[in-house]
Structure 1
Amino acid sequence: MEWLERMNRAIDYIEANLTGEIELREVARMACCSSYQFQRMFSFITDVTLAEYIRRRRLTLAALELQRGGTEKVIDVALKYGYESPISFARAFHALHGITPAMARQEGIALKAYPRLSFLNTIKGAEAMNYRIETKECFEVFGIEGIFRVDGGGEPPQTPAKLWEQSHANGDVKRLEACAGALPSFVSHDLYPVQAVCSYRKTEPDTFPYMLCAFKGDGSNTDGYTSICIPAHTWAIFSSEPHPWDQFDRTIDLLYKRFYTEWLPTSGYEQADGLEFEMNGEKDGLNYIELWFAVRKMQ
C-alpha cells in the first residue's frame, strides 16, 4: 500500500545515512509529509521517538563493529556514528549496552541489538473504531498559542500538556471560556467551550504550533487573543467511549495510536498538513474525546 511504501522509503533513507547526517526534511519528504507529521506518526506507531530510534540503530551498528574485533579505534567508531568525543560515545554506549565500548571487544560479552524497523500491513481491527467523515466550510478559532519542539525539549522543557496545566492554574482557561460565546452548529453541543488545535500554520521544521482555542462566533470576545482561520477541509473524526478523567491520557494516546496504525494505512486518505483538533466533551457525567484530523484522498 502506498502509505506503507512511503514510510518504508523514509526508513530506507535513515538506514542509508546512519554513518552520516540525517536530514529530517528529507526523511519527511520520503514519507510525503512534514517533519513534524512524520516524527509524530513515528512515535505513536512505534512507541519510541525518531531520535531515539536513530540513536539505538547507530549504537547497535557501533557495537557490531567493535565486537568483530578489527583494528579500528574506539574514537574512529565514535566519529563514524556521529559522536564528537570518546567520552560522549562511551556514555551513550554504556546507557544502551550496559558496558563500555572497550569491553564490547571481549569474546562472549552480552550486547543489545535493535534491528531495522519495517512497516508492514498486519491484521488488526477486531475492535470497532467510532469515526465519521465530514466536510466543513472554513471557520475561525481564537485563543492562547504556544510553539513547541517536536522532541519536547527547551529550557525549561515545554509541552502542550504543560500549557494546559499552566493555563488551568492561572485562570487562563476560565477567562477564555468566558470569552468563547456559543458553540457553532457544526459541532456537538456537549463539547466544552475550550478545545485545542495543532499544526494550523508552518513554523520551524522541528517545531509545531498548538493553541488552546474557542470557536469564534456571535458573542465571542477575541480581544488579546490570537485568531486563526481554519480553511475548508474534509475531516476524519474519531470519538472515544465516555471515560473518567483519570483515564484521559491512556484514552487519547490509544485513539491516536489506532488512527495511525489501523485506520490511516488502509483508508485511502492521508493527513492534510498535520492539521488536527483535540476536542473534549461530557456525556452522562463522563468525559469523552473527539480527534479531528484534516484529511484528503490519496492520489
Structure 2
Amino acid sequence: MENFQLLIEAMEYIEDNLTEPIKTENIADKLHCSKSTIEKLFRYINNISIRDYIIRRRMSKVSREIVSNPEKSLLDIAVEYGYGSNEAFSRAFCSVWQVSPSEFRKNPSKFELFPGYRIDRELMEEKTMDDRKKIDISELFDCIRERKGCYLVLGDIKSLIPINEISHKAGDLAIITAMKRMEQAAGAEDIVFRIGGDEFVILTNSKEENYSNSICEEIISHNDEPIFWEEKEIPLSLYVKVICYEGRTALRYSEFFTMLQNELSEEYKRQNF
C-alpha cells in the first residue's frame, strides 16, 4: 500500500499544480522519494511516462477551459497554463488532441480525454490489505520472472462506471472492496497488485491450475454482495480469469501489463458479447 499511497499523493500534487511548471524532481522532493521511484510507479500503473501523464491532464483541463470560456483568448489560456508562446501551447495541445486549439474551439470533442484520478483519503485510511509480504514496485518484475510457469488470477470490476455515476467516493469504495476480496482469496505466498483503475492481479506461487481456479471460485462467491454508500446498496461483482505466464526475461513492464489488460479485455468481451 505504500507505493499505492505514493502514487495517489503524486497525482494529487499534479492535479493541484497543472497551471504551474511541474518536473519529476519537484514531485520526488515533495514526496521524499527518488525520481526513479516515481517514474517507475507511473509507468507501472498508467503505462505512460509521468511527463506524458502531466501533458495529457493539462490538455484535458485546457480543453474544458477553451469550450467553457469562449470569451477567453487562447493566449490567455496558454499563459495561465504556463506556456510562454502560442507555438509551444499549440504543439502541446496538438500532441494530445491532433488539432489546434482554435480548431478545437470551433469543433469541441469529448472533454475528459484523460480524466484525473483521485482516491478519497478517508477511505484510504482504512486497512485495505492484510499482513502478507509487501514488495516494492521495482521488486515486482523480479518476482514475476522468478515465478515463471506459475498461474495468475486476473480480476476486473464489473460496471464501475455506473457506480462512479452515483458518487466517485462510492467508486473508490468499490475499488478498495475489490482489492480486499482479491487479497482475502489469495494465499499467503501470493502477491496481489493493481494494473489499472479497476483491474487487479494475483501472482500465485503455484504451477497448479486447480489452485488458481479455487481462488477464482472464492472471488466469484462474493459477486453481487453489496457495498453501502450513503444508504444506497450497490451490488459489486468482478470478472476473473486464470492464465499461465510462461515468461521471458526480456519482457518490458509496459508489454507485460498491456498483455494482462488485453487478457481482461478478452474476458470482458467473452462475458458480454
Mark yes or no: TM-score above 0.5.
Answer: no
Range of TM-score over shorter length: 0.3 to 0.5
Q: Counting helix residues as a fraction of each chain, which structure ranks higher?
A: 2
- More strand by percentage: 1
